[in-house]
Amino acid sequence: MHVAVVGGGIIGYLTACYLKQLNVDVTLIERGETGRESSWAGAGILCPIHPWLYPDSFTRPVDSSLALYPDLQAKLLDKTGVSIEWERSGLLIPFFDDDRTDHWQAAIDWSEKFGWKVEELDSLDSLRREPVLSDRIQKSLLWPEVGQLRNPRLLRAVRVLMEQLGIITVEHAEVTSLLKAEDRVSGVVCADGRHIEADQVLLAGGSWCGELAEQMGFELPVKPVKGQIVLLKGEPGLMHSIVKHDDVYFVPRVDGRILVGASMEYVGFERGTTDEVIDQLMASMCSIAPGLKGLEVEQKWMGFRPGSPDGMPFLGPVASIPGLWVASGHYRNGVALAPITAEIMSQWMVGNEPEMDISTFAVNRPVVQSLAVGFPDKVI
Ligand SMILES: Cc1cc2nc3c(=O)[nH]c(=O)nc-3n(C[C@H](O)[C@H](O)[C@H](O)COP(=O)(O)OP(=O)(O)OC[C@H]3O[C@@H](n4cnc5c(N)ncnc54)[C@H](O)[C@@H]3O)c2cc1C
């Protein structure tokens, strides 16, 4: 069997590897350069933002996916020599008296239900753990086992693995339509007229999958949600845990760099960072973590999260077009969900239906907008 994977982000990359390991021939086709879009830009936090806001049917695949990371990172290091800097730095959510949302009890209940270890810290212990935080802090919740990784390193490692596995990668080739034979997909057509034949096609084009689906004659409500990020040059040990608040999050890397993110903007595919949004992030940083004031800004960047109205990805076959599959719309959780996506999709495409109930992710599900975790339809 030969599969054409459309899109060279982490979802396309990993699924291509898993397919190849099942003896499937794979060609990965990328519009620009591989590994440059959302998967490169993301923060690499291995936990959904406020996971208690999601339905339980989302948490189970997340848990399964996160459980695959320890082996995956070890295998990537062993095979490619590239460390993805996966580490359990822990996640801390601080609480201030002027917070707009009180997550405390819902977060504890959710953690108990799903067996996530959580610690309740008073203000003194919170500041002992993270001295850069504002002394306005009243208390915090700490999940010591939450992990993180560095996205560009993950992409580099998986890219090397793809080469080792003999996956063919075609760059600078935008897929625009499908080839068909007797009503079945038989490959893809690129903008430059190239035909690439395949028995099955997987759309893993991230934020662009909504438009791509429309071109191919079916509906997929995936739209870009822009996020801007600032990278600060800190010293190792200045901050220990990922710190997440409603207004801003911080991700400390082992080398001392601290990532400050991320905006949620419904501006279509408008590229580039803007002073206004970066200033807002820095203002939130000064309020939540004043101990970071004055650190040099080393870099700013942005990316497009593949958003869906209910916050869930779309995984599985397109019923109306035999041979066509989708793995997209991972929104804020694509890195966290990448291993389980690759496992489910690769097995499914060789004929093994998922054992886990993933009907919440079905491509043809009735999509109900969730303002808590999805994109608000009216502003797009
Ligand atoms: C600022 C920010 C912070 C984030 N933080 C986190 C986090 O902490 N944790 C987490 O789990 N997730 C996070 N995410 C989300 C995560 O990065 C995404 O969900 C994930 O990267 C999506 O991967 P993808 O492969 O679907 O998309 P992408 O990485 O965008 O890849 C899609 C690829 O498809 C290509 N493509 C599109 N159309 C075509 C076509 N027609 N032909 C050929 N190629 C095509 C594109 O050029 C692109 O390279 C964040 C995202 C952003 C932007």
213 plus 318 within the same structural domain:
yes
Cβ–ligand 1 distance for 17 under 6 Å, the answer no
Of ligand 1's listed atoms, the one at least distance from the Cα of 228 is: 1
Of ligand 1's listed atoms, the one at least distance from the Cα of 212 is: 41
Cβ–ligand 1 distance for 208 under 6 Å, the answer yes
Last residue of a domain, one of 281, 307, 333: 307
Phi and psi, residue 90, nearest 5°: 85, 160
CATH number where 237 lies: 3.30.9.10
For residue 113, CA distances in Å to 153, 311, 373, 376 come to 33, 21, 20, 28
Cβ–ligand 1 distance for 41 under 6 Å, the answer yes
Residue 84 lies in a domain: no
Q: Are strands 91-95 and 242-244 parallel, antiparallel or unpaired?
A: parallel
Consecutive H or E run containing 178: strand 175-181
Last residue of a domain, one of 288, 307, 326: 307
Q: How many domains, the chain?
A: 2
Per-residue pLDDT of the chain (380 residues; tens, 9 = 90+): 999 999 999 999 999 999 999 999 999 999 999 999 999 999 999 999 899 999 999 999 999 999 999 999 999 999 999 999 999 999 999 999 999 888 999 999 999 999 999 999 999 999 999 999 999 999 999 999 999 999 999 999 999 999 999 999 999 999 999 999 988 999 999 999 999 999 999 999 999 999 999 999 999 999 999 999 999 999 999 999 999 998 899 999 999 999 999 999 999 999 999 999 999 999 999 999 999 999 999 999 999 999 999 999 999 999 999 999 999 999 999 999 999 999 999 999 999 999 999 999 999 999 888 888 998 766 54
DSSP letter at 366 equals: P
The boundaries of the domain holding residue 60 are 2-79+151-221+309-379
189 plus 303 within the same structural domain:
no
179 plus 50 within the same structural domain:
yes
